[in-house]
Amino acid sequence: MHTLLAAAAADESWITLDWSALAQDFWPSTIDGLTFGSIYALVALGYTLVYGVLNLMNFAHSEVFITGAYAVVFTLSGLGFGASPPNLSWAAIALNLVLACAAAMAAAAGVAFLLERIAYRPLRRRNAPRLVFLITAIGMSFVIQNIFFAWRGATAEPAVIMMPTKPVFDIGGTIIYLDTLIIVIAAVAMMVGVDQLIRRTRLGRGIRAVAQDPDTATLMGVNKERIIVSTFVIGGVLAGAAALFYVMKVPSGVVFNGGFILGIKAFTAAVLGGIGNVRGALLGGLLLGVIGNYGQVLLGSSQWTDVVAFVVLVLVLMVRPEGILGSNLAKVRA
Burial code of 145-160, b = ≥16 C-beta within 10 A, e = fewer? Answer: beebeeeeeeebbebb
Assess whether pLDDT exceeds 60 at residue 22: yes
Instruction: Calculate the CA 65 to chain-centre distance.
Output: 8
Total domains in the chain come to 1
Full domain range(s) for residue 57: 41-257
Query: Quick one: the chain helix, strand, coil %, rounded to 5?
Result: 75, 5, 25
> Predicted confidence band at 10 (pLDDT cuts at 50, 70, 90)?
low
Residues 259-298: tens digit of each pLDDT? 888 998 898 899 888 888 888 888 999 999 998 888 888 8
- pTM here is 0.90
CB 228 within 8 A of CB 116: yes
Check residue 334 and give its pLDDT: 39
327/325 Cα distance (integer angstroms): 7
Confidence label for 184 from pLDDT (cuts 50, 70 and 90):
very high
Average pLDDT over residues 201-217: 89
214-252 tens-digit pLDDT: 888 888 889 999 999 999 999 999 999 999 999 999 998
Mean pLDDT of the chain: 88
Distance CA 3, CA 39 (A): 32
CB neighbours (10 Å) of residue 283?
21
Residue 1 has pLDDT above 60, yes or no: no
The answer to whether position 120 is within a domain reads: yes
Q: How far is CA 246 from CA 76, 168, 201, 251, in A?
A: 14, 20, 29, 8
As a whole number, mean pLDDT of residues 110-126 equals 94
**Within a domain: 270:** no
pLDDT tens-place string over residues 74-86: 999 999 999 999 9
pLDDT band, very low/low/confident/very high, at 333 (cuts 50, 70, 90) = very low
Which uninterrupted H or E stretch holds 195?
A: helix 178-200
